[in-house]
Amino acid sequence: MRRLALLLAVLAALVVLPASPASAHTVGGVGATNFHTTLSALSPAAPGVRLAVIENGSRLELRNTSSSEVTVRGYADEPYLRVGPDGVYENRQSPAAYLNQSRYAQVSVPVGVSPKNPPDWKKVSDEPVYRWHDHRIHWMLTTMPPAVADAPTREHRVTAWSITLVQDGRPLTATGTLDWRPGPQPWAWFAVIGLAVLAVGALGLLRRPYPALTAATVVMIVADVVHAAGIALVTPGSTLERIGAFIGGDLLQITCWFVLVLALLALRKGYVVGAWLAAGGAAMIALTSGMSDAPVFWRSSAPFAWSAALNRGTLAVTIALGFGLLLALPFVVHRQKRTSTGTGDAADDAGNVPGAAPVSPDSPADPVPGHADVSDSPATPAGSASLGADADPASGAVEPGAGSPAEESPGVGGADAPPTPGHPVPRRRFVEYAGAAGLGGVAGAALGYASAPEAPAEKAAPAPRTGEEKVAFHGPHQAGILSPARRQAQGWIGAFDLVDGAGKPAAQQLLRRWTDAARALTAGRRAAVDNLIGAGLGPAALTVTVGFGPTFFDKLGLPRPEALAPLPAFPGERLDPARGDGDLGVVIAAEDPLVVQEAVRALTRLAAGLATTRWGMSGFGAARGSGADDGATQRNMMGFLDGTGNPVPAEQVFVTDGPAWLNGGSYLVFRRIRMLLDAWDATPVDRQSQVIGRRKDSGAPATGGTERTPADFGAQEPGGGLVIRPDAHVRLATPAFNNGAAMVRRGFNYADAPDDSGLLFLAWQADPRRGFVPVQRRLADSDALNAFIRHETSAVFAMPAGVDATGYLGQGLLDA
């Protein structure tokens, strides 16, 4: 009785435990995925310094057993970590110290923290090893990369990444890649699991099912323990830390193992309660950890210490046995009921159990009609078989079945009749109640699993038609900087000057007008502008991005951000002052040229009396659907891929340490670059590739691979000399040789005349002083490409943060 009461209490607790949503097994916040992060090299090699990708791409681990300290540079090239013999120190003035605490950077950087401030070092570990979520190595968004969204069944190089470390004043460059590798087809696994569920369920039809159910429960426990151990072992740290992760990783799962062990004890004795416990515990594991881990069947990578085949195999066994044992339960219970009512193999037609004294009319009457207390009946000899036991007719010995003499004492009439006051509840009723509690636990697990929030899907929903696509205008950042991630096919870049005498009220009125118009046009509402240029067309992924030039602040007497200074002069440029700079900068882009021009005309008309157009330029790229891969890097007028080396995560181009109105915004440097195509086309393709440092056909670095393969800048020709030459464009422009300078380039081609074609170059960054300016100085000095290009227009703008549904662009600046 006490043991049954204990089992009942355990099952009642399990009814409550699954109420919390079930979740998949993850390590560092990453479960099964098709993204693969690979560390290619740490160059040059440093003895005792080991950098590794861990937790299925979630974090990096730096271990430094050398005698000198290694410094890790943050996202703005600031010192972020110091790892050495004295332990690990973290710079609390580095935004990375806060952003890297979360896999998706869901942490706010405290006010006043700036990479420009002197380092504030805080010791965080006595050991020379540190692990962190470096957002340069993994995909940060819940939406898929454009190329992946368009072709999820193909492999894609998402990006090549690099991280700078410094040891004894010597830079160490870690390079790697982030790739998308589609997973396998899961149908074979599903078929095997389905057949296995039916096979295990059929065990309940056996005349003596308990040995088979015992074996199935043992296999269930072993498979699930191996599966959980494989996940726990990839948790970084010491053996004790991994054991802790294994034990404390999932309380519900470990509790279910305990229930399955209790089920084994009951099954070995032939108690039907063992079948209830096995079905309940196994089904809960299959519903929670089993089903939530199911993506491993169709994804190519998952956190697991051993092979992917073993990972999928143990999970398949767990799911199959979990649901199979649940399927077997009704058959076992049905047999037990048949036996207890005298219709089974263990009773004759009169309801007598072989080997037991027959029931006769002369037997003493049941003190309560319809219910017999056999324990008090002299007509029931000691040692007689209980109902639900399989007895040997020849010997009268009782074999384990649904019950035993020590556990059940059924009456001769109406064993299922309800108890009456003054009589103990029959023990078989405890079995029924325990079984009901077990089913309650399964139901609770199902509810928990059903209520679990869905993880972001790795296969994006089909994109709308080009004309119907909308890009959200509201948000923390202005659209058009990073969204949409795939470049629009048409663009217009221009500048406006405030009219003479215009002050802050005029600027406020202008920005309100422009914000309202952009809000309407990006949503496809044309009535607000009423110029009919785009009549019948959808929004076509329209974005309107607005910012302020240095002269805007000078004219209005507003404090100008330090980083917003006129760009310095660079050697070789031939700038046209009439087509550069400006008080306000505007970037308009969409998939359709009429949609772009509709927005241009709307903003120009709304500026009447407040501002005049200073200059404007139209550009283009490859149209959606014109190539096999709409998400591919586009080509410029020289025929080379343009934008391959954009940083990851691209979010590092947003301002985090500026005035409040600018935090979440970015700086735009615009250059109109004429390409001298006659001279370029006359240059052999091999020489063109040497100038750029990449192959013209594939965009791969000259050292080989694919477009996203990290360049090997140390590779040498067989006869000597660098494969990627010292004056090659990619060598001089790469962030690794420019203190990690991060810029997102999203240019448009232009072709105003046969001899006037080139690139409208847009570079988004958090600070031009650490981005465009030092890189352009380096390029202007020695870039081999200078012989074939000429910079003719230049401008810089501070693009404020995004806007909500009620505000206007720049409100934080102009309303202050």
Structure tokens at 772: 């465009």
Rounded Cα–Cα distance for residues 519 and 526 (Å): 10
Residues 6 or more apart from 195 whose CB is under 8 A from it? Answer: none
CB 260 within 8 A of CB 221: yes
Structure tokens at 91: 């710079």
Rounded Cα–Cα distance for residues 326 and 323 (Å): 5
Rounded Cα–Cα distance for residues 787 and 573 (Å): 12
642 is catalytic: yes
Pick from 583, 585, 605: which is nearest to 499 by CA? 583
From the candidates 592, 630, 642, 767, give the one annotated as an active-site residue.
642
Beta bridge partners, 383, equal none
CB 55 within 8 A of CB 28: yes
Q: How many helices (H) and strands (E) does the chain have?
A: 19, 21
Rounded Cα–Cα distance for residues 196 and 186 (Å): 16
CB 70 within 8 A of CB 62: yes
Q: Is 581 helix (H, G, I), strand (E, B) or coil?
A: coil
Chain-centre distance of CA 239, in angstroms? Answer: 28
Q: Is 773 helix (H, G, I), strand (E, B) or coil?
A: helix
Residues 6 or more apart from 111 whose CB is under 8 A from it? Answer: none
Structure tokens at 686: 């091999």
Ramachandran quadrant class, 244 (left: phi over 0; alpha: psi -120 to 50; beta: rest)? alpha
- Cis-peptide into 754, omega within 30 deg: no
Give the total residue count for the chain: 816
Helix (H) or strand (E) run with residue 61 in it: strand 59-64
Structure tokens at 760: 């409208």
Helices (H), 621-661: none
Q: What amino acid occupies position 402? A: A
Q: What are phi and psi of 627, to 5 degrees?
A: -125, 175
Q: Is 171 helix (H, G, I), strand (E, B) or coil?
A: strand
CB atoms within 10 A of CB 288: 27
| Active site positions, annotated | 642
